Amino acid sequence: MFVDVEVFKRVLREVASSDPAFIRDVFIDALRGDGKAVEAIVDLIARNPEARLRLWLNVTKIVFNLTWLSLS
């Protein structure tokens, strides 16, 4: 069974909007796997300028918060 890529992307966007915890859990499970799923996810993020920016902003926010907490 094959799914059209655009349909799959739309479904993922809808799931990410309605249930972000599900996407988080899928990503965490991918990290625990053999690495192929993570490579595919990183490849998708690397090709999408908006995704790269959002990832960079979130990583920066986390690093800032950790630094701020360690200074407190």
* DSSP secondary structure code for residue 35 in this structure: S
Name 55's Cβ contacts closer than 8 Å, sequence gap at least 6.
Answer: 45
CA pair distance 32, 50, nearest whole angstrom: 26
Model pLDDT, residue 8: 81
Model pLDDT, residue 10: 86
Model pLDDT, residue 59: 85
CA pair distance 7, 37, nearest whole angstrom: 20
Model pLDDT, residue 37: 81
CA pair distance 69, 72, nearest whole angstrom: 5
Q: What does pLDDT average to in each consecutive run of 10 residues of the chain (72 residues)?
A: 78 86 83 82 82 86 83 74
Model pLDDT, residue 1: 62
CA pair distance 68, 36, nearest whole angstrom: 34
